[in-house]
Structure 1
Amino acid sequence: MMHSLALLLLCLPYLAQGYIYTKCELARDLLAENVAKSELHKWVCMAWYESSFNTAAVNQNSPNSVDHGLFQINSYWNCDPQNGKPAKNGCGHPCSDYKNTDLTDDVACIKKLKREHKGWGFSMSYTNNCQSKTSSYISECGIPGLG
């Protein structure tokens, strides 16, 4: 029992870092979450610029606003920080849901934001870095039918 506890304590710093995807792993996982092939490169690019593919990424914007996870979903507008601070929680999830490898809620939230904003305007990372990217951005991933 003590050996297991010691091993767990040794691993905690690594667990806190979350999972860091490769570009192609993320592309395949997003495809499995029904992200359209024609938009896959946009999602992967945005995740790179938002979090460097790290599911546990956190960015403190202001005292009342923190971005969470792979797509940096905002604690004021789009998730509930569950810390007593005001939140709109537009995507209907606690912020902790966006810091794991279950992409179902992340994809649903980003799709909702895309509908509400009629495109990618909600993400400055996308706007500043990904608009000119084409499917060639993920061509090395060997996903049939890209292009």
Structure 2
Amino acid sequence: MKLLLASVLLVAFLSLSEAKIFGKCEFANTIRGFGFPEGEISTWVCIANYESAFNTDATNTVTGDHGIFQISQIYWCSTGDSPGGGCNKRCADFHDDDISDDAVCVRVIFNEFVGMTGNGFDAWTTYAAYCNGDNSGWLDGC
């Protein structure tokens, strides 16, 4: 009986923290709900598409980037059991379907880069390569 109860609790816990692949409109509406400025939404959609294909479980094993926004373990999160980095989070926290903590960290990164370069999007290499310009098409159909 104890084993059965433990198994049920484990399954319930795991189901609460599953990864997710967002649709572009779902992603746009989600970050809009987090208070992202309307003028940035289409650029964030473009970045998330090229960084992770909207997959919250994405990992770049070469660069050590995590989650839907590909947050760097070098500066912003800890690969250990304790929170760390500039966002004081574990990188594993960016791999579940709750992207609210990802969004908070992304705003920290964005604001840091505004201070350094004048453009917060410069923190993402995909911005210069794919998303620097008119991104309004990313919201077509939304």
Instruction: Name the count of aligned residue pairs.
Output: 129
Q: Distance in 2 between matches of 1:81 and 1:134?
A: 33
In structure 2, give the amino acid aligned to 1:47.
A
Residue 111, structure 1, aligned to residue 107, structure 2: yes
Q: Which of residues 84, 97, 100 is equivalent to 1:101?
A: 97
CA contact (8 A) 1:55 1:99 kept: yes
Q: Which residue of 2 aligns with 1:68?
A: 66
TM-superposition CA deviations, 1:106-128 (whole Å, max 9, x none) = 11111111111112111101221
Q: Distance in 2 between matches of 1:83 and 1:107?
A: 21
Within-5 A mapping of 1:1-147? 1=4, 18-61=19-62, 66-82=64-80, 89-118=85-114, 119=119, 120-141=121-142
Q: Runs (4+) of structure 1 moved beyond 6 Å?
A: none
TM-superposition CA deviations, 1:36-66 (whole Å, max 9, x none) = 11110011110110000000011112xxx51
Unaligned runs of 5+ in 1: 142-147
In structure 1, give the amino acid aligned to 2:107.
K
Q: Tell me which protein shows more helix as a share of its residues.
A: 2
Following superposition, the deviation at residue 16 of structure 1 comes to: 9.7
CA contact (8 A) 2:17 2:98 kept: no
Unaligned runs of 5+ in 2: none
Structure 1's 97 and 88: CA in aligned 2 closer, same or farther, altered over 3 A? closer
TM-superposition CA deviations, 1:64-113 (whole Å, max 9, x none) = x51110011111111011069xx971111111111112222111111111
- 3-state SS in 1 of match to 2:29: helix
Give % identity: 32
Following superposition, the deviation at residue 133 of structure 1 comes to: 3.2
CA root-mean-square deviation: 2.7
Q: Which residue of 2 aligns with 1:145?
A: none
Q: Distance in 2 between matches of 1:88 and 1:16?
A: 20
- TM (norm. structure 2) is 0.79
In structure 2, give the amino acid aligned to 1:121.
D
Q: Distance in 2 between matches of 1:88 and 1:128?
A: 29
Q: Which residue of 2 aligns with 1:144?
A: none
